[in-house]
Amino acid sequence: MILAACALLLAAAAPSPAVAVVVSLTGEASVQTAASAPSRPLLRFEWLLPDAKITVGMGSTVVLAFADGSRRELLGGARARLGAKGLVSTSGAVRELPSLPPLPDLPPLAADSAASRAGAVRIRGLRIAGLYPRDGWSVPADSAALGFEPVPAAGRYRVTVEDEAGATVLEAEVDQPRVAVAAGTLKPGARYYWRVRTLGAGGAAYRGEAEFATLDAESAARRARLGEALRGEGAAGLALLAEIDRGLGLVREARDELRSALEDAPADAAVREALERLERLLAEPKE
């Protein structure tokens, strides 16, 4: 009985996966995320959970993309409530748009995932800055690259990557602040720890270390199919792909996609703000 009650409590406390993302927002709209919560302005690129209620202002439009790839456009005056897989109730004008391939499975509360997967590893003493990936961010298993800021007067660097069991999967000496990881070195859906230190710089060595993860095979396959579709939709498609990549922890890929989207749509304030947030996230964290 006690075990059953504990299981129910854990299930109730577990975060729900997001069911939709706000692809575009023209004009004004509001969202109520829970029955007891007040309404607030809806935001572009916001991830929505089940039971969210959306109200679209007159003369405004909202486009939502759902986990199964379906898309809906809510026109001015429309109201809608989200269920676990889509819209469960609507009023006003709601149009079905062409579907996309299914979205990759994103972590629960995807809107915060890229910034909160793991705490940063802290190094005391002489530290190599700018490690990427770090903080538990993700990389594609077959095309990962490790990078860091160069240390003045450092001749070479030793880079080591270990798996969760502590086994070394990569060890290399390089003279440039970047290491391309050969395909097959990293397993999909795994976590890794990597470190770098200077060699032959004279005096004490500089060091850096961080954690990262690799995309699982299914997420990588879904992302590839979705990316092919979205890149054909111009700036709006690139912006959505960037938000999905950010949710997956592919922070640098998301940054590059937002840069491309902004080149195509330089007046898009939401894309510019999203890019600025990612640039701040990628900047070296303060000690």
CA dist 62 to 49, 77, 188, Å?
16, 11, 35
- Contact indicator for 178, 238 with CB cutoff of 8 Å: no
Q: What is the pTM of this model?
A: 0.85
The ranges assigned to domains in the chain are 18-99, 109-287
Q: Closest Cα to residue 247, out of 84, 48, 96?
A: 48
Measured from the Cβ of residue 272, the count of other Cβ atoms closer than 10 Å reads 15
CATH code given to domain 109-287: 2.60.40.1220
Residue in the structure block whose two tokens are 């572009």: 44
pLDDT in tens, the chain (287 residues): 433 443 433 334 445 688 999 999 999 999 999 888 899 999 999 999 999 999 999 999 999 999 999 999 999 999 999 999 899 999 999 999 999 999 998 876 433 333 333 444 455 568 999 999 999 999 999 999 999 999 988 889 999 999 999 999 999 999 999 999 999 999 999 999 999 999 975 667 899 999 999 999 999 999 999 999 999 999 999 999 999 999 999 999 999 999 999 999 999 999 999 999 999 999 865 55
Pairwise CA distance, residues 14 & 87, whole Å:
22
